[in-house]
A and B are shown apart, each in its own frame.
Chain A
Amino acid sequence: MTELPTLGAALMRRTMTAYHDALVVHRRRLNLLNVYPVPDADTGTNLMMTMESVVEALRASDEGRPVGAVITRGALLGARGASGVILSQILAALVARVDKPPVNDATALAASLNAAADAAYEAVTHPVEGTILTVAQAAATAASAAARDTATLADVVGAARSGAAVALARTPDQLPELRAAGVVDAGGAGFLLLLDALTYVVTGAPVPEPLDDGERPLSEGGLPQQARYEVVVYLEADPGAMSEFRTAWDRLGNSSTVVVEAGGRWVAHTHTDDPDAATAAARATGRVVDVQITDLVAQIGEIAASRRTGMRSGVVAVVEGDGLRERFRSRGATAIVIGGQTRNPSTAELLDAVERTGAAEVVILPNDSTVVPAANQVGRLTETPVAVVPTRTVLEGLAALSVYDGALDGRTNRKAMISAAAGVRSGSVTRAVRDAASAHGAIREGDWLALTPDTLVAVAGTPLEAAQRLIEILVESTEADVGLDAAAVTIVAGADADDDVVAALGEWTGERWPALSFQWFAGSQLLYPYLVGVAVRPSSTG
């Protein structure tokens, strides 16, 4: 059996090299984690370059020079970025006594980790929890606890590492920005890697490899997995059917299902990742009186966003489909209510979303003609001033959102947004679910229909044909009004869209109208595989 290493200059020197090497490998992963305080994806790069300066200083230093001083100076001179500066302060504290042989390795390391955590807190003007500070503190606390019971260095390092890993996994609970992005803190992850390097030098256990199964790794400690949607269903059903329903929901939900009887109705509540299946199960059980679906992840993002921006006014948008919801959110919508052509949200849901924004004034984008009446009711039910921009399609909604300015009041925004929405002609393509008669002749089940918000405009045998007819009509009306100089065709591909059809539409549009630009994105909406918009540049200047 080889002799266990002891805490001292040689060990720290090897740890610095091991940490640098680990950062070279983990740099990209740490960059991708970096969303707080500014998502500039450079934490890994900054830490690596800081350690490069340390390793270089060690390489260049004379034999006799105290290693602690060399590391401290190398880190300080080369510290890059905020994370690098914090790391330089941590290292300085960690190695402060490394050139004096400690009485007891285990307690000395615990003391150094505590000094390092203190230094991290002192390095920043306004300490924020859920960052490298929290992770360093957790490591220090765990190390102190272990040092009381044991005398080996490996035990203290192991305890510090476990404490840090647990704290790192919890950082998303502390910072909404991390939670919304589904990541742990990048600086904290970088600190854990320092302990991995120390573990390697002390015990020989290799530094873990970066996860390569995606761009957004979760920590190995495991981000607490919580289902994304909260679903509440009001149900009229036979009591005998309820036990089967409960079983179905228990399977879908994460054991948070609650079913109660209230006033002759059942109220069922769960957290699940599959709200559609949850709703379907309810429909199979009895008469569904009302459904409320809340996207919990989005809600956190909304709160984080409103805290960051402190905007005067907020935007509530009614949208369904993951891709569309994400688009509205990233384009500035403060709150999303799930719904649309296939599911009209209630006034109460809209009201709830308006109040959730916390904004002084709120603009609502109903994005469907049938939702406008409910939206119009909201203003009477809240003290928050509410302006409804009566968008009839999601593409009108997106155009309206594009001119929204959070710093302006709701009335001014409403005016600009209405005019922007008017700059978009839009429609949808869907499939007939039954035979019917129409102004365009008989419709058979399975035919493809092209619709504008006002009317049915074409019936066709294939989705491509229906979409082409719709684009023609939208482009013609645009051309008649304002010309085609600065127009763009946008396709929103639904859950059942065929990529080949979208590609064919792109080619066809380019050939037919070379002046038009063409773009598409995945909206994932149900029942309407293709939404089409033709947007024009406002004709005014200045």
Chain B
Amino acid sequence: MTVRVITDSAATLPPDLAERLGVLVVPLRIALGNRSLSDGDLDVAALVDHGPDVSTSGPTPGDYLAAIGQGGEEGCVVLTLSREMGAGSFLAAQAAARTVSTPVRVIDTECAAGAQGLVVIAAAHAARNGATIGGVAEAARPVIERVRLVATLPSLDHLARSGHVPDAAAWAARFVGLCPVIEFRRGRVRPLRPAHSAHGARRRLLDRVAEAKPHGTSCLHVCALHALASDGADDLLAAVEAEFRPATSFVGSFSTAMIIHAGPGVLGLAWWWEPLAT
């Protein structure tokens, strides 16, 4: 393998999967008051109820430089968290790339969590098959275009507080006790029509996957994503596997930094349908 694929911890790739694919994962950063910590150095239990003085940001250019330093002989492809979600990852990777002589391509995945993970997996497969930097980027492109992420969460308050959904949805959920459903696509969180129960929300997720299936032969790549809701994610993935027999499937557990953003209890699916040549 000669091109190294690098991503950030927003991609929620399970460590063993990342290792198998040869992907380097650069941790996001967490600020706790005046302290700066690496995502993963901090137990989430200590954080969920922490006061308001917690914030997250992308990795620093220094973090990316360290990863690039372990890079492949032919260079690196860095796949970052959506710039709309937090420009830090993308800008930091670019700043790092400008200071090294190794060829580095920085790509905004325009998504996060399991969706970002699926983009990274496609790129990593290409790199393992000996693709050039351009080839790895080519492999990521169609996934960035097709990948969808729909999730349900107990409350949109955390997302609203971190500035990523209109406050409207947070309130809506409280007022009538509905389950908010959101779609995250092309860098934006968009509230969908809420479901009336957790069960209904789960059914809605599976329906969305089915609706999105293109005509013709295709196979599914899917991630069940969750923030501190692993049982729900396991069940959801089992349901998807039974219904759609995906080619790729994994559970993507949110890192501490991601939980700060989205709040605990997020449960959703990220997926893309890959058309198979006929």
Contact = CB atoms under 8 A, between A and B. Distances in A.
B17 interface: no
Contacts of A398: 175
Interface stretch (B196-204, B216-224, B239-247, B267-275): B196-204
Interface string A387-398: 000000000001
A77 B191 contact: no
Given A80-B29, A84-B57, A407-B192, A402 B172 contact: yes
A354 interface: no
A373 interface: no
Interface size class of B (residues with CB under 8 A): 35 or more
A88 B204 CA distance: 45
Nearest to A24: B34
Contacts of A89: 95
A76 B61 contact: yes
B60 A77 contact: yes
Interface stretch (A36-44, A248-256, A262-270): A36-44
B14 interface: no
Interface string B151-194: 00000000000111011110110011110000000000011111
A80, A124, A125: which has the most chain B beta carbons within 10 Å?
A80
Interface string B204-236: 100000000000000000000000000000000
Interface stretch (A146-154, A280-288, A468-476, A534-542): A534-542
Contacts of A536: 176
A78 interface: yes
B62 A408 contact: no
B55 A403 contact: no
A167 interface: no
Contacts of B175: 398-399, 402, 488, 535
B92 to A, nearest CB: 5
A207 interface: no
B31 A45 contact: yes
Given A45-B31, A330-B167, A541 B197 contact: yes
Contact of A407 (B163, B190, B199): B190
A65 to B, nearest CB: 17
B91 A42 contact: no
A331 interface: yes
B192 A542 contact: no
Nearest to B173: A402
B235 to A, nearest CB: 17
Given A35-B163, A53-B62, 20 more contacts: A38-B85, A42-B57, A48-B34, A49-B31, A49-B36, A76-B65, A78-B62, A82-B58, A82-B87, A82-B88, A85-B94, A309-B190, A332-B166, A402-B172, A404-B168, A407-B192, A420-B176, A488-B175, A542-B196, A542-B200
21 contacts: A31-B55, A38-B164, A42-B56, A53-B60, A77-B62, A79-B62, A79-B92, A82-B86, A84-B60, A123-B91, A125-B83, A309-B190, A330-B167, A331-B171, A403-B172, A403-B194, A536-B176, A537-B176, A541-B196, A542-B199, A542-B200
Interface of A: 24, 31, 35, 37-42, 45-46, 48-49, 52-53, 76-82, 84-86, 88-89, 123-125, 305, 309, 330-332, 398-399, 401-408, 416, 420, 423, 486, 488, 535-538, 540-542
Interface of B: 29, 31, 34, 36, 55-58, 60-62, 65, 83-88, 91-92, 94-96, 99, 162-164, 166-169, 171-172, 175-178, 190-197, 199-200, 203-204
The 3 closest A-B pairs by CB, nearest first: A77-B62, A542-B200, A332-B168
